[in-house]
Amino acid sequence: MNKLLLLLAAAAAAAGGILSLINTSGITDVSALRTVSKPTEVTVSGSLEAVKITDRHVVLTLTGGGFKITAVADRRTLEALYGPVTPKNFEATVVVKGLYIPTNQTLVVESILRGCHSAYSQTPANTK
C-alpha cells in the first residue's frame, strides 16, 4: 500500500497545474467521477461498500450510480485529527475530500467530512 501512495503522490505532483474542481459549489456524487480523465481535487459522496483498516491506512470502497472508487486515507493522520477509527464509526453514506486519480479509480483522502462519527462529533485528539 505504501508503494501505491508513493505512486499517487508522484502522479499528483506531475499533474501540478492541471488540477481542477469538478463541482465548485459543493459535493459531487461518486458516479460523476466516471468522466474524469485527469487527477482532480474533489469533494465526493458515496455509499460505503467496505472498510478496511490496516496499521497504516483506512481504505474505503465507495459506490454510486454503478461506479466504484477506492478512497485511501493515512490512518495516523485520521486518528491524530479525530481519535480512534474503527469500521463501526462509518455510516452508510460517506463524504470525503481529496485528490482523485482516475487511472486506478483511487481517491487520496485529505479529510472525511461526513459519515464517520469521528469526523464531525468527536473532539479532535490533536488540538494544535
Higher pLDDT, 85 or 18: 85
Q: What pLDDT, in 10s, does the model give residues 53-82?
A: 999 999 999 999 999 999 999 999 888 887
How many CB atoms neighbour CB 65 within 10 A?
Answer: 13
* Rounded Cα gap, residues 114 and 105, in angstroms: 21
Partners of 71 in the beta sheet?
A: 60, 107
Q: Would you state the cell numbers that stand for residue 5, as one nine-digit string?
A: 501512495
The domains found in the chain, sorted by start residue, are: 2-120 (2.40.50.200)
Q: Answer yes or no: is pLDDT of 20 > 50.
A: no
Beta strands in the chain (DSSP E): 28-29, 40-53, 57-64, 67-74, 90-101, 106-116
Asked if 46 and 25 touch (Cβ cutoff 8 Å), the reply is no
Residue 7: per-residue pLDDT:
52
* Rounded Cα gap, residues 55 and 43, in angstroms: 25
Question: What distances in angstroms separate CA 10 from CA 7, 18, 30, 110, one per listed residue?
Answer: 5, 14, 23, 16
Q: What pLDDT, in 10s, does the model give residues 95-128?
A: 999 999 999 999 999 988 887 754 445 455 554 5
